[in-house]
Structure 1
Amino acid sequence: MASIKDVAAEAGVSVATVSRVLNDHPSVSADARTRVLAAVEALGYRPNAVARSLRTDQTRTLGLVISDVMNPYFTELARSVEEEARALGYSVIIGNADERPDLQDHHVRTLLDRRIDGLLVSPTDGGSPLMLDAARAGTPMVFVDRWIPGVDVPVVRADGRAAVRDLVAHLHRLGHRRLAIIAGPAATTTGSERVEAFREALGACGIDLPDAYIGQGDFQAESGRRVTEGFLDLPEPPEVVFAADNLMALGALDAVRARGLRVPDDIALAAFDDIPWFVHTDPPITAIAQPTGELGRAAVRALVDRIEGRPPRSVTLPARLVVRRSCGEGGESGESGRTGADGQDGDNSARNRSQS
C-alpha cells in the first residue's frame, strides 16, 4: 500500500506539500497540486483517516442511534441521514437500539469513544443520564423524531397532531364512534404525544376514550397483535383500531385475520407512520405519513451547523393523513391532500354501530 512518502517521491515534492494538497490548503501552486493529485491516482493512495483526525481533531464522522432498524420508518430515516451526510462530506456510523435503553446507551458510549464529530439520536426513553451528560458536556447532538424534554438539544421532528385530528374527523364522518388506540411506550415523547393527540381529537368530536380502548404497545408488531386480541375480546369491541406506529398496525392486522375477521367489514384499522407496504395490503391501510426523508436531511444539516460553529435550530414539519380503504372508505380513497375522501361513508351502512 502506497504511503504519503511514495506520493511525494512520485510527484517530486515534499511530504509537507502532499499534506497541504490533501487538506486543500490554498498555499500550493497549481502545478504542484496537479502533480500530487496525479501521483495519488497513479499509486492508489488513500489517506489515513485516523491519523488525519488526530491532527485536525475531526473525524468527519457522525453517529446515528435509531430506535429500531427493523421499523421501515427508521430504515428510511437512516438512509436519508446517510445520503445528506455524504453530500456534506461526512460518513455515518449507525447503531440500532432495538427499542432498548441499555442498548441505546451502549451505542452512544461506543460512538463517543470513537471520537465522532456529532451525534443524532432518536431516544428510546426520556431518562438516559448518559445523553444528558453528553449534552451538558457540549457534545454536538441533535434529537430526531423523538426527544428528551428538558435537554437543551435541537429537535427535528414531525408534528402529527393536525393529522391525527384529520384522521379522527374522517372516521367520525364515516360513522365510527368506538375508536381505540394501540399506544407506544409512554416513556417516549412520540408514544405519549400520539395518545394525547388522539384523545383531544376524539373530544373535539364529542367522543370519549375509555381506558379499555387504550392498549399499551411497544412500537413492535407482537404488541400490536396482543393488544388487538384484547380489544376483540371486549364485550363491546371497538369499531376502529388506530395503531400508533406501522409495526403495531401490522400486528393488529395479523390478530384480526387470525380471528377470521376482515378489515374493514368487521373492524377498521388505521396507522401512524405510513410505509410502502400499506398500499399492498388488502385493503390498503389508511395512515398518517411523516416526511421521513426531509426529517433525516434536516437533522443532518442541524448537526453539521452545530459542528461547524453555526447556530443550529430545531425543525418541525407537518405529518399528513393518507386515506385508503381500511376504514370503510369504499372506492373513494385517495392520497392527495390531507384527508382525501371527505364525506365518504363507503359501505358503513351495512354495519351496526352505536351512535353518539
Structure 2
Amino acid sequence: MASVKDVARLAGVSVATVSRVLNDSAPVTERTRERVLAAVAELGYRPNAVARSLRTDATGTIGLVIGDILNPFFTELARAAEDEARQRGYSVVIGNADERADLQDHYVRTLLERRVDGLLLCPTAEITSLVRDLVDDGLPLVFLDRTLPGLDVPTVRADGTAAIGALVAHLKGLGHRRVAFISGPALLSTGRERTDAFMVEMARHGLAVRPEYLESGDFQAASGRAATARLLDLPEPPEAIFAGDNLMALGALDEIRARGLAIPGDVALASYDDVPWFTHLDPPITAIAQPVRELGRRAVAALADRIAGGPVEPVELRARLVVRRSCGEPEREEGSGR
C-alpha cells in the first residue's frame, strides 16, 4: 500500500503539504495541489485511520500521553505541559498509558477522534503501527522524555550522563567501591541510556562493575524492593545502591528499612529523578534531578511550532546531581558551595 511519504516523494513536496492538501487545512498553490492529487491518483493512495482523523479546523486542543500517572515525574511533567499550553491558548487532554502499548494506542485513537491539533507522546518501548502512521501521515507530533529508534520525530529530553558521572564521583569520594545499580527496562530508551551512562562513568572513575551488582526493574516500587532484597542477600552486599528512578528508589528504601538497616551507615542510597518528598525523609535522599518543568514547557513550545508548520529541532536539556545525606555527606546542592 502506498503511504503519504510515497505521495510526497512523487509530488516533490513535504508530508505536511500532502496532509494540508488532503485535509484542506491550510492554503497551498493550485499547482502544488494538482501535483499532490495527481500523485494520489497515480499511486492509488487511500488515507488510513490516522489520516482520516486529522482535523480540518484547529480545535485549540493538544493531546498528552504519558507513561505512568502514578509516577511523580510524569505527574509534574503533565502539570508543566498543561501550564505552558494554557499560556499559549491550548487545552490539554491527558491519557495514561500505564507503560502498555495497547493503552497508549487506545488513548492516541481517542485523542485523534477529538481532533486534537497535535500530540505529545512519552512512547512505550514498542513501535506500534499506529505510532508509525502518526509519523507517516504528518500529524504534529513530539516525543517527550523518550525516543524510538528509526522514527524521525523531534524529541524533548534530558541527558543524565554528566549527572550520573557526578554521582559516581561523589560515591567514590565517600569511599564507596561496591556500587550496585537497579536499571529500568532495557527496551525503554531511558532504561538503556541510564545503564550505559552508569557503566561508562564507573569505568571512567576506575570502579569495577560486578555483574551481581547489576539488577533490572520496571520503574515500579515492587521491582526496586525485590532487586534490593537480592542485592542485600549477596555474600558481599553493595555499599551503595543507585536506583534508576524514584519509584524503584522507594522500593529500595522499604526493603532497607524492613531489614532494620541504616542509611547511609549500612548502605548508601541514591535515586535517578528527584521528588519533593525525598527532602522530608531521614536522611534526605541524594538524587539526580531532571529539569521537569522546563521539559514540559519546551515540549509544548516545540509542538506549537509543529502545529504552525515551522521547523522543530530536538531539545536536549541536562539533569543535575543534588547531594543530600543518604550517601554519607552533609546536605548540600551540587555546585552550590554550601
Q: Give the TM-score range, shorter chain.
A: 0.7 to 0.9
Q: Quick one: structure 1 residues 318 and 238, their matched pair in 2 at CA, closer, same or farther if it must change by over 3 Å?
A: same
User: Which residue is 1:266 aligned to?
Assistant: 266
User: Which residue is 1:224 aligned to?
Assistant: 224
Q: 2:43 matched to 1:64?
A: no
Amino acid corresponding to residue 335 of structure 2 in structure 1: G
Q: 2:191 matched to 1:199?
A: no
Q: Quick one: structure 1 residues 112 and 193, their matched pair in 2 at CA, closer, same or farther if it must change by over 3 Å?
A: same
Provide the C-alpha distance between the structure 2 equivalents of 1:108 and 1:86, rounded to a whole number of angstroms: 21
Amino acid corresponding to residue 176 of structure 1 in structure 2: H
- Find the residue that maps to 2:93 and give its secondary structure: strand
User: Which residue is 1:334 aligned to?
Assistant: 332
- Find the residue that maps to 2:62 and give its secondary structure: strand
Q: Quick one: structure 1 residues 55 and 268, their matched pair in 2 at CA, closer, same or farther if it must change by over 3 Å?
A: closer
> 1:315-354 alignment to 2 at 5 Å?
315-329=315-329, 331=330, 333-337=331-335
User: Which residue is 2:174 aligned to?
Assistant: 174
Amino acid corresponding to residue 283 of structure 1 in structure 2: P
> 1:27-66 alignment to 2 at 5 Å?
57-66=57-66
Provide the C-alpha distance between the structure 1 equivalents of 2:249 and 2:170, rounded to a whole number of angstroms: 18
- Find the residue that maps to 1:148 and give its secondary structure: coil
> Offset of 1:263 from its aligned partner?
0.8
> Offset of 1:337 from its aligned partner?
2.2
Amino acid corresponding to residue 238 of structure 2 in structure 1: P
Q: Deviations over 1:122-159 (max 9, x none)?
A: 11214322212211111110011111121111000101
- The answer as to whether partners of 1:69 and 1:98 remain within 8 angstroms in 2 is yes
Q: Quick one: structure 1 residues 336 and 240, their matched pair in 2 at CA, closer, same or farther if it must change by over 3 Å?
A: closer
Provide the C-alpha distance between the structure 1 equivalents of 2:125 and 2:55, rounded to a whole number of angstroms: 37
> Offset of 1:199 from its aligned partner?
0.5
Provide the C-alpha distance between the structure 2 equivalents of 1:230 and 1:56, rounded to a whole number of angstroms: 55
- Find the residue that maps to 1:62 and give its secondary structure: strand
> Offset of 1:328 from its aligned partner?
1.0
> Offset of 1:203 from its aligned partner?
0.2
Deviates more, 1:101-110 or 1:183-192: 101-110
Provide the C-alpha distance between the structure 2 equivalents of 1:56 and 1:233, rounded to a whole number of angstroms: 60
> Offset of 1:113 from its aligned partner?
2.2
> Offset of 1:198 from its aligned partner?
0.4
The structure with the largest alpha-carbon Rg is 1
> Offset of 1:309 from its aligned partner?
1.4
Provide the C-alpha distance between the structure 1 equivalents of 2:309 and 2:55, rounded to a whole number of angstroms: 19
Provide the C-alpha distance between the structure 2 equivalents of 1:196 and 1:173, rounded to a whole number of angstroms: 21
User: Which residue is 2:252 aligned to?
Assistant: 252
Task: Provide the alpha-carbon RMSD of the alignment.
Answer: 1.7
> Offset of 1:110 from its aligned partner?
1.5
Q: 2:293 matched to 1:293?
A: yes
Runs (4+) of structure 1 moved beyond 6 Å? none
- Find the residue that maps to 2:215 and give its secondary structure: strand
- Find the residue that maps to 2:261 and give its secondary structure: coil
Provide the C-alpha distance between the structure 2 equivalents of 1:132 and 1:243, rounded to a whole number of angstroms: 32
- The answer as to whether partners of 1:126 and 1:149 remain within 8 angstroms in 2 is no
User: Which residue is 1:87 aligned to?
Assistant: 87
- The answer as to whether partners of 1:219 and 1:248 remain within 8 angstroms in 2 is yes
Amino acid corresponding to residue 117 of structure 2 in structure 1: D
Matched residues, number? 286
> Offset of 1:231 from its aligned partner?
0.4
User: Which residue is 1:50 aligned to?
Assistant: none
Q: Deviations over 1:32-84 (max 9, x none)?
A: xxxxxxxxxxxxxxxxxxxxxx9961111100000011111111100010011
- The answer as to whether partners of 1:97 and 1:103 remain within 8 angstroms in 2 is yes
User: Which residue is 1:127 aligned to?
Assistant: 127
Calculate the TM-score normalised by the size of structure 2: 0.82
- The answer as to whether partners of 2:181 and 2:241 remain within 8 angstroms in 1 is yes
- The answer as to whether partners of 2:55 and 2:115 remain within 8 angstroms in 1 is no
User: Which residue is 1:354 aligned to?
Assistant: none
Q: Structure 2: which 5+ residue stretches go unaligned?
A: 1-53
User: Which residue is 1:111 aligned to?
Assistant: 111
Provide the C-alpha distance between the structure 2 equivalents of 1:55 and 1:279, rounded to a whole number of angstroms: 45
- The answer as to whether partners of 1:126 and 1:147 remain within 8 angstroms in 2 is no
Q: Structure 1: which 5+ residue stretches go unaligned?
A: 1-53, 342-356
Identity, in percent, stands at 63
User: Which residue is 2:283 aligned to?
Assistant: 283
- Find the residue that maps to 1:63 and give its secondary structure: strand
- Find the residue that maps to 2:94 and give its secondary structure: strand
> Offset of 1:336 from its aligned partner?
5.0
Deviates more, 1:280-289 or 1:203-212: 203-212
User: Which residue is 1:26 aligned to?
Assistant: none
- Find the residue that maps to 2:264 and give its secondary structure: coil
Q: 2:98 matched to 1:98?
A: yes
Amino acid corresponding to residue 210 of structure 1 in structure 2: R
- Find the residue that maps to 1:186 and give its secondary structure: coil
Provide the C-alpha distance between the structure 1 equivalents of 2:152 and 2:285, rounded to a whole number of angstroms: 37
Provide the C-alpha distance between the structure 1 equivalents of 2:128 and 2:173, rounded to a whole number of angstroms: 42
Provide the C-alpha distance between the structure 2 equivalents of 1:109 and 1:224, rounded to a whole number of angstroms: 33
- Find the residue that maps to 1:324 and give its secondary structure: coil
Q: Quick one: structure 1 residues 108 and 56, their matched pair in 2 at CA, closer, same or farther if it must change by over 3 Å?
A: closer
User: Which residue is 1:159 aligned to?
Assistant: 159
- The answer as to whether partners of 2:101 and 2:126 remain within 8 angstroms in 1 is no
User: Which residue is 1:183 aligned to?
Assistant: 183
- Find the residue that maps to 1:256 and give its secondary structure: helix
Provide the C-alpha distance between the structure 1 equivalents of 2:290 and 2:312, rounded to a whole number of angstroms: 22
- Find the residue that maps to 1:249 and give its secondary structure: helix
